[in-house]
């Protein structure tokens, strides 16, 4: 075991893993985390904690991870390259491991122009691929990027994101290969709506045996409304929602659109878990944490495995 994390154990047991996501509050109100966590407990194997997502200042992912650990939920701590240089990253990683964090997700991070401090100076000292490799070196060799020895144990299950919907498409499998070569243990994908493109990407990954070199989790986000579908399709880079899904959402009255979105999500999960090489589902129920029990139940993802 690389980390002994619950998530790693689920993968090792050969069962379909399920992760959720939790956005920390824009302030110090930890009740928000406790409230959201309440709904996720027992429903997912681990929970992603976003790191200043969309470049909006929020309670740090490290502190949020600790709060989650105290509640008894396993965190997947996200870290972006935007806000920290290699010194801060490694120091914060020491802190995270010392506090009991065992899963990490390495991300480039949304550019600060999208956030609430567009005037900020970004860092990007290292990028996400280099961060993966840094973590692997820290874990497997007990060394910092500089080569200095780490005092103490460094256990970590290393994750990264992959977006099969970003362009150029032909670069997306090589990029996955690159992250695997850098040392990634698991991958969570961007929300999948364009099933055709996703399957094509997986086909490319399988052709190179990449699906056996890391655990690939398919990302899903239930659509709450036709408006949300439109917004995500038009405004969020790297997300494309096929016309038939948008039509389906628009085709039902407003008050039934959330229900339709859940139905679509359940169908998507059914389809995704049959795709060869998919080892888990990453459920990003954006500001819908309270409905996660219902979502995972209806998607047939319960009960979640328990290990001693």
Instruction: Tell me which residues touch another protein (CB under 8 A).
Output: 81-82, 86, 108-111, 113, 122, 124-130, 133-134, 145, 161-163, 165-168, 170-171, 174-175, 177-178, 181-182, 190, 237-238
Residue closer to another protein (CB basis): 17 or 132:
132
Helical ranges in the chain per DSSP H: 6-12, 31-40, 61-71, 86-99, 128-136, 172-182, 195-207, 226-235, 243-250, 257-273, 292-298
Q: What angle do CA 233, 239, 134 make, to 5 degrees?
A: 155
Given the complex with another protein, which of 9 and 82 has the nearer CB atom? Answer: 82
We find the least distance from the C-beta atom of residue 269 to another protein, in angstroms, to be 22
| Nearest to another protein of 37, 184 (CB atom) | 184
Distance separating alpha carbons of residues 265 and 43, to the nearest angstrom: 16
Residue reference for tokens 């007990």: 142
Compare residues 150 and 252 and give the one whose CB is closer to another protein.
Answer: 150
- In the complex with another protein, which residue's Cβ is closer, 140 or 167? 167
- What minimum distance in Å lies between the beta carbon of 10 and another protein? 25
Q: Cβ(192)–Cβ(231) under 8 Å?
A: no
Closest approach, Cβ 203 to another protein, in A, equals 18
Give the phi and the psi of residue 225 in degrees, each rounded to 5. Answer: -160, 165
Q: How far is the CB of 262 from another protein (least distance, A)?
A: 25
Task: Between 11 and 201, name the residue whose CB sits nearer to another protein.
Answer: 201
| Shortest Å distance, C-beta 6 to another protein | 27
Read off the DSSP letter of residue 88.
Answer: H
Q: Give the span between the Cα atoms of 54 and 80, in whole angstroms.
A: 11
Q: Minimal distance in Å, beta carbon 266 to another protein?
A: 25
- Rounded Cα gap, residues 20 and 37, in angstroms: 10
């Amino acid at each position: 075991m690389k980390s002994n994390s619950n998530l790693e154990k689920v993968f090792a047991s050969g069962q379909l893993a399920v992760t959720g996501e939790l956005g920390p509050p824009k302030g110090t109100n930890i009740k928000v985390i406790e409230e959201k966590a309440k709904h996720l407990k027992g429903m997912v194997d681990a929970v992603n904690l976003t790191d200043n997502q969309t470049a909006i200042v929020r309670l740090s992912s490290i502190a949020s991870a600790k709060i989650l650990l105290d509640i008894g939920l396993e965190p997947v701590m996200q870290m972006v390259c935007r806000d920290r240089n290699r010194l801060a990253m490694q120091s914060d990683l020491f802190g995270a491991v010392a506090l009991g964090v065992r899963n990490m997700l390495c991300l480039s991070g949304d550019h600060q122009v999208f956030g609430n401090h567009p005037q900020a100076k970004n860092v990007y000292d290292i990028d996400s691929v280099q961060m993966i490799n840094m973590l692997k070196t820290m874990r497997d060799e007990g060394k910092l990027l500089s080569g200095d020895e780490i005092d103490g144990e460094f256990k970590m299950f290393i994750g990264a994101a992959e977006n099969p919907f970003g362009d150029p498409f032909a670069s997306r499998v090589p990029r996955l290969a690159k992250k695997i070569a850098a040392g990634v243990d698991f991958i969570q994908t961007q929300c999948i709506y364009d099933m055709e493109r996703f399957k094509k990407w997986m086909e490319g990954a399988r052709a190179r045996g990449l699906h056996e070199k890391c655990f690939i989790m398919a990302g899903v986000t239930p659509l709450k409304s036709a408006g949300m579908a439109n917004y995500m399709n038009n405004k969020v880079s790297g997300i494309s929602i096929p016309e038939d899904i948008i039509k389906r959402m628009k085709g039902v009255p407003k008050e039934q659109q959330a229900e339709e979105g859940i139905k679509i999500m359940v169908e998507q999960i059914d389809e995704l878990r049959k795709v060869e090489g998919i080892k888990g589902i990453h459920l990003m129920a954006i500001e819908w944490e309270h409905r996660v029990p219902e979502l995972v139940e209806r998607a047939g993802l319960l009960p979640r495995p328990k290990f001693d």
